[in-house]
Amino acid sequence: MQQPNLASRGASKAGMVFRVTSGNFLEQFDFFLFGFYATHIAAAFFPASNEFASLMMTFAVFGAGFLMRPLGAVLLGAYIDDVGRRKGLIVTLAIMASGTLLIVLVPGYASIGLWAPALVLLGRLLQGFSAGAEMGGVSVYLAEMATPGRKGFYASWQSASQQVAIVVAAGLGFALNLWLTPVDLAQWGWRIPFGIGCLIIPFIFLLRRSLQETEEFANRTHRPTMKDVFGTLYDNAGIVFLGMLMVAMTTTAFYMITVYAPTFGKSVLQLSTGDALIVTLLVGVSNFIWLPIGGALSDRFGRKPLLAAMSLLTLITAYPALSFLAQAPSFAHMLEVLLWFSFLYGIYNGAMIPALTEIMPVEVRVAGFSLAYSLATAIFGGFTPAVSTWLIHMTGDKAAPAYWMIFAALCAFIATLVLYRRLSAQSLATA
């Protein structure tokens, strides 16, 4: 059987980055749309006696997809560590596309009753299962293809590609808000962006099929079996756990400033739909700028200083910033606060992604990365909209989502210090 060409013989690095991150675009595009159109999805699939209950059910289904990520991380991650980055990423894309198509095509509750929320839940579970290994596979591919000394910069494009999806989704949402009446948007218009996501699936498949295997993986002589993966993950459970806590800051901040932000702006701050979308679009642009900068800075100054500094800044500033916004809600204030959070997230995540690829054992690099990331997303990030909605409802404090950010930042700060102290001790022991 003919082997795929090595990455070193293929197209340019930029072309490789574009092809491998294309699936990330689709994943985040759909995830963002689900969060932004939560109120419309709630009315279509989860009718309830009051808006709070309906919205909570919608966000619970949104979060349920993240519960599948750890399972996908282990099973699909092990598959990618066995068969290769290229083949594995084509499989994750196929599963993700199936979930997206299902959500788009499901009729509303009024047409098929309980089958509607059940099928939407199934679509979310498929998306979550796929995403469990998608981000890990992409991050490891980028790290393995990076030129020496620039691993942080290259790996940061995994997250940067997601910001393009946010900008495109927010732009589509803003256009639909101008072109359609509120009634049409609520009844059927919200499905249009999801349909557009389905239309680009064949193009992304073509991009993924043209991927070439990384030279580092192709040169490996040992490919772990599923049993080997489970054993190695078990032996390194402490590193996976600390990695999960380190990722907590990333997932919570990201879903706070992107997926939850439009709902927060409309439902809590009573800003217009257009204002909330423009803010989210600008946040996506800001993230896209800061992420590669964070990766490059981590190449220059090290991962630990950036991780510790950004998590500490989040601990100190999260509540004052959201309290300022809650007391004086406006387009300008929401933009100021979310751009500050974007800076914290971008620099932190730019350093965190390459750090996570470096701390995992090489033979289970995708599975280990994916499991740590998926656990953090399932526990912290995926339920950020639901937890934020619940905190505001229970406390009456519109700035209450900051408590969740502070908790995640504290976990990340402690994990960073413990993890790098542990790695330093191991390096001294083997020196």
Q: Please, which residues have CB within 8 angstroms of residue 66's CB and are 6 or more apart in sequence? A: 128, 374, 377, 378, 381, 382, 383
Nearest to 157 by CA among 350, 385, 316, 361: 350
Q: Please, which residues have CB within 8 angstroms of residue 293's CB and are 6 or more apart in sequence? A: 346, 347, 350
382-392 in b/e burial notation, b at 16+ Cβ within 10 A?
Answer: bbbbbbbbbbb
Cα–Cα dist 189/179, whole Å: 10
- For the segment 373-426, what is each residue's pLDDT rounded down to a tens digit? 889 988 888 788 888 888 988 999 989 999 999 999 999 999 999 999 887 766
State the pLDDT at residue 427: 60
Cα–Cα dist 100/124, whole Å: 8
State the pLDDT at residue 319: 96
Domain edges within the chain: 11-214+223-430
Cα–Cα dist 218/214, whole Å: 6
Name residue, tokens 């393995």: 144
Q: Please, which residues have CB within 8 angstroms of residue 377's CB and are 6 or more apart in sequence? A: 66, 69, 247, 251
Residue spans of the chain under pLDDT 70 = 1-11, 31, 35-36, 48-51, 53, 55, 62-63, 221-224, 425-431
Fold type of domain 11-214+223-430: Growth Hormone; Chain: A; (1.20.1250)
Count CB neighbours of 167 within 10 A.
18
Name residue, tokens 């217009």: 272
State the pLDDT at residue 360: 87
State the pLDDT at residue 430: 52
- Structure pTM? 0.80
State the pLDDT at residue 7: 42
Alpha helices in 185-268 (DSSP H): 191-199, 201-209, 215-218, 226-235, 237-257, 261-263
Q: Are 291 and 159 in contact (CB under 8 A)?
A: yes
State the pLDDT at residue 55: 67
